[in-house]
Every structure is written in structure tokens, then in C-alpha cells.
Amino acid sequence: MSAAGRSGLTARAARERSEQERPTRRRLVVDCVRLDAGSVDRIEVDDECILHEPGVPGALVVDGAVRLEAVVRAAGGSLVADGRVVGVWAAECRRCLEEVRGPLEAPLQEVFEWEPTDGETWPIDDHRIDLAPAAREAAVLALPLAPLCSEDCAGPVPGRFPTGPAAADFTAGGGV
């Protein structure tokens, strides 16, 4: 099981998903044979997919669902995808642990090669590229690390465990 799978937030989202129609499209494959042949100079992609492991502990892409808008061009022997990934993120407020949601938009600029460099470029397989793993990487990098439900969130039990700005001020001010 992934690290993200242990978070209560992830389990909750997974339950919500199983109650709805379960989307299954986990790949976003673009056939680039016309680019490689030179008969077109760009392929526009505007499509949706479900990301594999769409989160990190405490934050995820809601339902793993993203829309990818990109242009794929040939560059020498490789292919370059340039665009953006759009979705909705959900995460735990770092003070009160309530769920916070917000719009996710991540830039995507990735290179695909016949002989990819591990960790740097992605594979071309029989003139096809799968944009889903690149979209996942871009989306996960754009997740908020320690969001707040609001700037003045006081935490779950402010009377006993002050965690909000007042507590920070108290510490900084030396009890003035």
C-alpha cells in the first residue's frame, strides 16, 4: 500500500469514489506517428484521466481526476509536451485537520524519448506516449504542503491547545 493510502483523508476519498460511477481511464495515450512522420507539426491534447496514486500523506487530487491541456511537438528525435494539468486538491488543515479544498493547476513541460533518461524524460513506445504519469508528477508537485482552512484557524480545541496566530504571538511576545 502506498504512503498516501494510509491517510484517513485518502480512505475517505476512496469511499466516495466507490459510491459513484468508477472512472477507469488511467492512461492518456497520444499517438504521435504523424508527428514523427512530419505530416503535422503539433498535436493538441485536451483530455481527462484518473491518476495512479494521486496524492501524498495529507493531500491528494480529488478522485485522482485531472484534465490535461497540452500541445505535443517533435523536437529532434524526441517529443515535447507543453501545457497544464487542472483538477481539485483536498488536504487536511494543518491546525484543525478539517478538509480543505482548492483549485489545482500545474504547468506541464515534459520530454519523451525513445531511450528515456530515468527520472528526467519519459518513454516513447511505438510512436505513442502516455501523458498520465507526467500529469501525475506535475499534479502531485503542485499539492499544498501545509494548507490552512483559513488564515485565523484556531485549531480543534483553542481553549486548551491554542495553535492559531494568537498562540504564535504569545510565544513571540514572551507573554506580554
Where on the chain is the footprint of Zn ion (CB under 5 A)? 93, 95-96, 149, 153
Instruction: Give the shortest CB-159-to-Zn ion separation in angstroms.
Output: 15
Our CB check for Zn ion shows the closer of 91 and 153 to be 153
* Cell of residue 168, nine digits: 504564535
Our CB check for Zn ion shows the closer of 80 and 149 to be 149
Task: Measure the CA–CA gap between 117 and 137, rounded to whole angstroms.
Answer: 16
* Cell of residue 107, nine digits: 504547468
Measured on CA atoms in the order 15, 105, 123, 130, is the torsion positive or negative?
positive
Instruction: Give the shortest CB-87-to-Zn ion separation in angstroms.
Output: 22
Instruction: Give the shortest CB-164-to-Zn ion separation in angstroms.
Output: 9
Our CB check for Zn ion shows the closer of 88 and 148 to be 148
Please, which residues have CB within 8 angstroms of residue 23's CB and are 6 or more apart in sequence? 50, 63, 65
* Cell of residue 114, nine digits: 525513445
φ, ψ (nearest 5 deg) of residue 92: -90, 130
The CA R_g of the chain, rounded to the nearest whole Å, is 21
Instruction: Give the shortest CB-104-to-Zn ion separation in angstroms.
Output: 19
Instruction: Give the shortest CB-153-to-Zn ion separation in angstroms.
Output: 3
Our CB check for Zn ion shows the closer of 61 and 153 to be 153
Task: Measure the CA–CA gap between 133 and 98, rounded to whole angstroms.
Answer: 29
Our CB check for Zn ion shows the closer of 95 and 136 to be 95
